[in-house]
Structure 1
Amino acid sequence: MRHEPRAAGDTLEIEFSAEDVARTRFAISPLWEVAASVRVLKGADEHGMHRRWTEQVRPRLAAARLDLEPLSRLIAVPTAGIPGFLVPPPTTPQPALEVELAALRATPPHLLRTTSPGAEAGVAALREDPRRGLDRLAEVIAGYWEVALAPYWPRILTLFESDILHRARRFAEGGARRLFDDLDPQLTWDSGTLQMAHRCIRGVRRLDGRGLLLVPSAFVWPRIFSTLDSEDWQPNLRYPPRGLGTLWEQRSQPYSDALAGVLGRTRALLLAELAAPASTTDLARRIGLSPGGVSQHLTALRAAGLVNAHRTGRVVLYARTSVGEALVSGH
């Protein structure tokens, strides 16, 4: 199975029956974000969309001394293929990474295959000892996640949830046509058929009553990745969500007087400053407090569930939780 990118060229037509429309759904996949972000780190960010993220994450990965080879060799760049078994479509709307890793560990050996040029050697190594290889792969992914994505996940998740809410409203307003109208410039809906400009594939694909899974992804722009022909998983599209261009903006959000009244001005300021993950030393320098004073406030914010701590080598990074994100943004 191969995940193909969207680009100018041929047109792929995806035919929907009434049952397909009824079964179309959204989901979020942490495991997919792992694979897609590794592509970015390997050079698949030709437009520099994620430059700020890569500049922060590369030295942290080096400091953590993670051996990413079992994962990296499965993801070939510049080709767009990602082995399907590595990123199966989620079966629930928002699975935790641990749930997806449990499914990855349980992958049947016959699914350990790929049509992605450059990934064959990695898949062959897994097939030699599937149980041990998949366990090791899951451990590598968990380590990578903690360093590269967990500190940013509340921000990414907020973007995804906002996009899905927007899409749901559009579907409620005007059905499938309204839903797909602004999903991506090269997707169009016409008479029960979703047309997609495609680099490699043309022709018609039928969903056969399985519906279409739509998965927002922070790391696929400017492409859409599709899996439509597999007998093992629901057909799916991985697409860039609305507002992606603002994801890595580093400006802190202003905090309200109401938030300061509840938390105190120093803690409200610290929460606002955590627009991007930061260490105690970084925060102390920005707001003019001693590292010890900042640490005390962060401990209180962490106890309240507003920030999380993530260790990267010898450095502990603090980041807002989803609750913290919502408090600062005011929704």
Structure 2
Amino acid sequence: MPKKSCHVEWIFAPEDVARIRFAFSPIWELVTSLRALRDPARHSLHLPWVRAVRPRLAGVDLSELFALVPLHGYLVDFVTPTPETPMPDFAADLERVRRTSPERAAEEASWVVGSDPHLIERFTADPEAGVARVADTLEHYWETAFAEFWPRIYGLLEADVLRRSRQLAVGGARELFADLHPNVRWHGDRLRVTRPWDYSEPIGGDGLVLVPTAFYWPDTAVMVEPYQPMLLYPATGVGTLWASGPPPAPGALAALLGRTRAQILTALADPTTTSALARRMTLTPGAVSQHLTVLADGGLVTRRRLGREVVYRRTPMGDSLVCAS
């Protein structure tokens, strides 16, 4: 018999669409990177990161984390809470993990399949101590293997959020979800995500949070009650994440504008912010801002405020220069 297709389905009232928001989460990336660390062949996009951090982790005991975050299937939700704000903050995420109720943590640990049963039993026997251990290990793992790489990951996720926000503003929910992921479909007033289980409820409450991810690529994940509804989807451009440095500036364009400005103009293939460009270019935000001002005064880039951020994009003249070179 053919396998039954299962879906998580959220039903939207008209006002719920207005409550769709984007965020990204350092702790989601940290936790899901554990799978890349254990099975780099399946997560070959992240091999440069794995090679860089494995020697540092030789003396770090990650066994309890590996048990709670197995290679396949369910991983405990309490270590990956739905982001509360669009501005990611690892310390705030970690504090939410520390505040997890022991009862909730023990229940979720009991759902994990395919892990070391002794480690799961140890955790569920004293979940309060288990939550504290897990939080301490996550903090050590972050400091040892992840913190220095977060700005690069942040830049990728930020660029995806800017692009998707523009899609939502211009084309509404239908256009936004049309190419988010093959597992995601918008049907009238319903968003359906293919999952190995069934769920159907009104979205309600504070709306749906959309979270791009680099390390969960190429899959989707969802969070449902008692957590705020959340859909995790693969960020665009993950394949370029570990490419070293900014894109090369074509010689003719560099001769015309100077190498740094040519690199900045080339990097603006997708709209982005000064801070994201600064991280990618390994320059100070002040230096990038000065170059962007010159490019904007020359009609090659344009500015647009989006919330608290100013987003830059190439003008048609800027596109022509990059393409011609």
- Under a length normalisation based on structure 2, what TM-score does the superposition of the two structures give? 0.71
How do 1:37-76 and structure 2 match up within 5 A?
37-43=33-39, 46=42, 48-62=44-58, 65-76=59-70
| Alpha-carbon distance between aligned partners in 1 of 2:65 and 2:287, rounded to the nearest angstrom | 30
Opposite residue 110 of structure 1, the aligned amino acid is E
Secondary structure of the corresponding residue to residue 50 of structure 1 = helix
Partner of 1:161: 158
| Alpha-carbon distance between aligned partners in 2 of 1:325 and 1:23, rounded to the nearest angstrom | 36
- Residues 1:170 and 2:167 aligned together: yes
Opposite residue 74 of structure 1, the aligned amino acid is L
In structure 2, the CA distance between the partners of 1:56 and 1:111, relative to structure 1 (3 Å rule), is same
Secondary structure of the corresponding residue to residue 168 of structure 1 = helix
Shift of 1:61: 1.8
Counterpart pick for 1:188 among 185, 188, 192: 185
Opposite residue 25 of structure 2, the aligned amino acid is S
Structure possessing the higher relative contact order (Cα contacts under 8 Å, 6 or more residues apart) = 1
In structure 2, the CA distance between the partners of 1:70 and 1:11, relative to structure 1 (3 Å rule), is closer
Partner of 1:301: none
| Alpha-carbon distance between aligned partners in 2 of 1:13 and 1:141, rounded to the nearest angstrom | 32
Secondary structure of the corresponding residue to residue 211 of structure 1 = coil
In structure 2, the CA distance between the partners of 1:175 and 1:142, relative to structure 1 (3 Å rule), is same
Counterpart pick for 2:18 among 5, 17, 22: 22
Opposite residue 17 of structure 1, the aligned amino acid is A
Opposite residue 138 of structure 1, the aligned amino acid is A
Give per-residue Cα distances to partners, 1:86-123, cap 9 Å, x unaligned: 11112111231111111111111111122221356545
Partner of 1:88: 81
Partner of 2:233: 239
- Residues 1:151 and 2:151 aligned together: no
- Under a length normalisation based on structure 1, what TM-score does the superposition of the two structures give? 0.69
| Alpha-carbon distance between aligned partners in 2 of 1:261 and 1:226, rounded to the nearest angstrom | 41
Shift of 1:20: 2.5
Shift of 1:210: 4.0
- Residues 1:142 and 2:135 aligned together: no
How do 1:95-114 and structure 2 match up within 5 A?
95-112=88-105, 113-114=107-108
Stretch of structure 1 that moved more, 101-110 or 130-139: 130-139
- Residues 1:226 and 2:222 aligned together: yes
Asked whether the 8 Å contact 2:36–2:43 carries over to 1, the reply is no
| Alpha-carbon distance between aligned partners in 2 of 1:322 and 1:148, rounded to the nearest angstrom | 24
In structure 2, the CA distance between the partners of 1:128 and 1:160, relative to structure 1 (3 Å rule), is same
In structure 2, the CA distance between the partners of 1:45 and 1:185, relative to structure 1 (3 Å rule), is farther
Shift of 1:128: 3.4
Paired residue total: 266
The unaligned stretches of length 5 or more in structure 1 are 1-7, 263-267, 269-305, 308-318
| Alpha-carbon distance between aligned partners in 2 of 1:149 and 1:184, rounded to the nearest angstrom | 27
Shift of 1:323: 4.4
| Alpha-carbon distance between aligned partners in 1 of 2:234 and 2:284, rounded to the nearest angstrom | 20
Secondary structure of the corresponding residue to residue 154 of structure 1 = helix
Asked whether the 8 Å contact 2:40–2:50 carries over to 1, the reply is no
| Alpha-carbon distance between aligned partners in 1 of 2:113 and 2:89, rounded to the nearest angstrom | 30
Asked whether the 8 Å contact 1:154–1:322 carries over to 2, the reply is no
In structure 2, the CA distance between the partners of 1:9 and 1:320, relative to structure 1 (3 Å rule), is farther
- Residues 1:32 and 2:25 aligned together: no
Shift of 1:322: 8.4
Partner of 1:204: 200
Opposite residue 173 of structure 1, the aligned amino acid is V
In structure 2, the CA distance between the partners of 1:37 and 1:261, relative to structure 1 (3 Å rule), is closer
Opposite residue 222 of structure 1, the aligned amino acid is P
